[in-house]
Chains A and B, each alone.
Chain A
Amino acid sequence: MSRWSYFAKRLVLSIPVILFGTTVTFIAIRMGPIDPVSAVFGTQANPDDMERMRRQLGLNQPLWQQYFDFLWDMVTFDLGQSWVVETNTDTIELIKSRAPRTVWMGFWAILIPLFIGIPLGFYAGLNPNTAGDYFASFGGIVWRAMPNFWLAVILLVGLSRSEDILFGFSWKTFLVDTPQVIGTKYFHTAWTNLQAGQIQPMEWARATKQILPAAVVLGSASMGNEMRISRTAMLETKHSNYVEMAKAKGVSGRSLVWKHMFRNALIPLVPVITGEAGLLLGGSVLVETVMAINGIGKLFFDALTEGDMPVAGALMFIFILLLVFINIMQDFLYTIIDPRVGYEGE
């Protein structure tokens, strides 16, 4: 099977996956015990108004027709309007206005573990069973076991009152001044100005500093995972035959590590990194809710708790699409990086 037909097969197989997720979403929001219309009107419901809205939304049609309408709307990306969170706003607009903050946070949440977790893991793998290895490994295990929401709460409080706790070190005035420890205020201005064609380094620096704590929390579990796997990958590579061979040939230590070991040890990390997409999506709901970041995760949470079913359903659909897409990309990447991986297996 060639790479392209494998790719095509993956695409075909993803259709039932998406269909399943969409169907479950439909069942949950249309057949579940929450009546979307009464969520809109609240307690002072006027039966006539409710009936009109029901007709307008097509909720009085037979269920199977509603189902196909829903599927068609999703496939054509006609995601409807928000009813409660921001009344009469297109869901797409709502998502577009919130998404940059989540993407900004997610970007750092992927980057930070990459640049801390992997070097630490490689270091531990290069020096196994030393004090440094034990320290890094144990730290990684405990770090990974910390619940996101707990870490978020502690960081939030610890950083905003750092001058009391960290012997006078003030995080707020550290490097650049950010009176509000965590948020996306500076990011918002930096981003809107960027769209207007202005690049403001100071604003970007502030935006980065404000998002770092949230990104560290969101990436905490990934960091532990990446550290452990890069440690074992490095250990495995270290004992492989071609490294022995290179050593015997007299390749210098630096070139041995960087050219022969580093690159090959990266291979098993690819699925780990892409596999964290689900973790990031789920985690963003918790982190954004705790840290009051107005991103997509918080939008999903608000939409659900306030009964704004079209927004919740649309977001679920988008999350499913994203995950499926990332999974396909991961397998595809893997076949490029490591040609030994067969197409037949899965």
Chain B
Amino acid sequence: MSERTSIEDDAPLLDRIRNNPEPALRWLAVLGVLVALQVGALFGAMMELPPWQTIADRLFGLPLLALFEPVGSVLASVGDRLAEIPTLLSRDVIPNRGHRVPGGQQFAADIAGFTVEFWRWEGTFLGLPAAIAWAIRVTLIYLYAFACLAWFWKGYLVFRNHYRYADWTPADDMIDRMRTHRWGQFGFVVIAMFFMMAMFAPALGPTVVEENIQEPYSYETKYLDQESGEVRSTLVGNANLGSRSRGGGSNGNHGIGTYDDYDRFHPFGTLPNGKDLFTFLAAGSRVSLFIGLLALGISSVIAFSLAMVSAYYKGAVDLGAVILSDSIQAMPRLLVLIGAVVILRGTWIADIYNGGLLLALLLGSWGWPAMWRAIRGPSLQVVQEEWVDAAKSYGQTPRRIMRKHMAPYVVGYMLIYGSMTLGGIIISVSGLSFLGLGITPPTPEWGRAIDLGQSYIATDSWHISIVPGLLIVIVVTAFNALGDGIRDAIDPQSDTGSGGEAAAAGGGA
């Protein structure tokens, strides 16, 4: 509590921490542990992301500086060494790809009609079966990610309890209301898991996109041949041919949580072409999220600045904004998307990020009117407040008034609509890729998995379409739930208001 701090209230944050360092240190210690677990990945990113080679060539090409070249190379080798430190969440520490050991059957028993077998494996984590090794890695990744989230949350609490100057701020009430809002929390947890899926996609999948989906004929996989009883090696592409899901029977089916004949585990089953569905969906979540966030960013910036300006100046500016947003909304978004994607197919812009950038730009530029409409009301309301009048009479510039006195009030509403539109964007993108538009084919996208499995829904291979569809439903529901939660937190009175309803993502698009 702030009353415990003896120093003056307006002391800078650093002084307040110096005065009572213990909670902050404890919090930082946790950060140390979290970073230490992933330190190799951190250094890896540092060594890979900046183009060190070109920088070094430029730098050491200069006279005088060339003398330091040995230092540079030493640094580079140290960096490389550090990047090789194993990280908790990489595929190498807990590998799940391996093969059964010949004659390594530990036991086999019939329990309740199911045959339970336990084999010794080679190449997997601790010689465990591939499924278990994979499950351990996924669990660890999610635990780690949630620990990071908890760390951020704890940081806020530590700041609020020990170091903040004010005892109470309006944001506290909102956050406290959110803490009791189960429906909103459900949304938050699901969305957090969706984000984690996208962030850790390469480590989460039982296999790697490049080896399994993009270039299956450039990589090999080892397996225990059932007939000859020896370990063999084959191209991933050939293995894929043997693990297809085409309706069961002689056409083959590898459903949820099954192994194929090549000692590979498929948590969500396989696609009709034998590729791993989980890896496909995890990579697809990255694509969806990238498009969603970029599109949301574009439309938020336009909608927010336009809302500020049109609410402040009203009159002709407002009318202009109304006409412009009406004009854009008069062209149904999905039709514009289909049209633009078809027309721009094959041009350079449709190639960037496999077409993702184009979709994001289109969704962003066609998404702002709805958002602007939604925050226009609150913006017009806040302009009428006395504090805005007061600021005007003090001679503050319009820019400053909008930023300091109007924006904070409207930001909360942006969060509501942002959450709800993201769900709509995910549906739109998957709808387009279902039609074969937008994201170019070998790139994984959820809608394309649904399309691939269309003809197998009534067969044993129902998982191909049903699993991604359910994922979309869950994620979109969660985005709407989070939006509801934020709305109730910001403005508990509006519980019955129709504020957020219009923005909620529907399956229409």
Contacts and interface: CB of A to CB of B under 8 A. Distances in A.
B508 A283 contact: yes
B416 to A, nearest CB: 15
Interface string A286-302: 10010000000000110
- Provide the main secondary structure of the chain B interface: helix
A301 B437 CA distance: 11
A150 interface: yes
A275 B454 CA distance: 31
Task: List 4 A-B pairs, minimum CB-CB distance, nearest first.
Answer: A221-B506, A282-B334, A20-B327, A221-B508
Contact of B344 (A33, A278, A283): A33
B497 interface: yes
Nearest to A18: B330
A146 to B, nearest CB: 5
Interface in A106-155: 141-142, 144-151, 153-154
A5 B335 CA distance: 33
A225 interface: yes
Interface of A: 13-14, 16-18, 20-21, 24, 28-29, 32-34, 141-142, 144-151, 153-154, 157-158, 160-161, 164-165, 220-222, 224-225, 228-229, 232-233, 235-236, 268, 272, 275-276, 278-283, 285-286, 289, 300-301, 304-305, 312, 316, 319-320, 323-324, 327, 346
A37 to B, nearest CB: 15
Nearest to B462: A157
A16 B435 contact: no
21 contacts: A13-B323, A13-B326, A16-B323, A17-B323, A17-B326, A17-B327, A18-B330, A141-B480, A145-B423, A145-B473, A147-B473, A147-B476, A148-B508, A150-B465, A154-B469, A232-B498, A278-B332, A300-B335, A320-B330, A323-B329, A346-B322
**Most chain-B Cβ atoms within 10 A of its Cβ — which of A32, A236, A286, A300?**
A286
B506 A286 contact: no
B331 interface: yes
- Provide the main secondary structure of the chain A interface: helix
B347 interface: yes
Contacts of A323: 329-332
Contacts of B507: 144-148, 150-151, 220-221
B407 interface: no
**Most chain-B Cβ atoms within 10 A of its Cβ — which of A149, A151, A164?**
A149
A160 B326 CA distance: 42
Interface residues of B, number: 52
Interface stretch (B64-72, B352-360, B426-434): B426-434
Contacts of A141: 477, 480-481
Given A150-B465, A154-B457, A145 B505 contact: yes
A319 B335 contact: yes
Nearest to A224: B506
B32 interface: no
Given A33-B346, A286-B435, A320 B496 contact: no
Contacts of A222: 506, 508
Interface string B274-296: 00000000000000000000000
Contact of B454 (A14, A153, A165, A327): A153
A149 B508 contact: no
A279 B508 contact: yes
A112 B338 CA distance: 27
B458 A282 contact: no
A221 to B, nearest CB: 3
Nearest to A24: B331
B346 A21 contact: no
Contacts of B338: 285, 300-301, 304
Contacts of A142: 473, 477
Contacts of A316: 331, 335, 339
Contacts of B498: 229, 232-233, 268
Given A32-B344, A285-B335, 7 more contacts: A16-B323, A16-B327, A33-B346, A144-B505, A150-B450, A225-B504, A278-B333
Contact of A150 (B340, B435, B472, B504): B472
Contacts of A220: 507-508
Interface of B: 322-324, 326-335, 338-340, 342-344, 346-347, 423, 427, 430-431, 434-435, 447, 450, 454, 457-458, 465-466, 469, 472-473, 476-477, 480-481, 496-498, 501-502, 504-509
Contacts of A319: 331-332, 335
B125 to A, nearest CB: 36
A261 to B, nearest CB: 14
Nearest to A320: B330
Given A145-B473, A147-B507, A232-B501, A21 B339 contact: no
A16 B323 CA distance: 7
A98 to B, nearest CB: 15
Nearest to A161: B458
Contact of A33 (B339, B343, B447, B497): B343
A235 B496 contact: yes
Contacts of A236: 496
A222 B508 CA distance: 8
A146 B335 contact: no
A222 B454 CA distance: 25
Contacts of B334: 282-283, 285-286
A278 B506 contact: no
A156 B334 CA distance: 22
Contacts of B342: 34, 304-305
A270 to B, nearest CB: 12
A232 B431 contact: no
Nearest to B453: A153
Given A268-B498, A285-B335, A28 B343 contact: yes
A34 B343 CA distance: 6
A38 to B, nearest CB: 13
A204 to B, nearest CB: 27
Contacts of B333: 278, 282
A149 B335 contact: no
A305 to B, nearest CB: 6
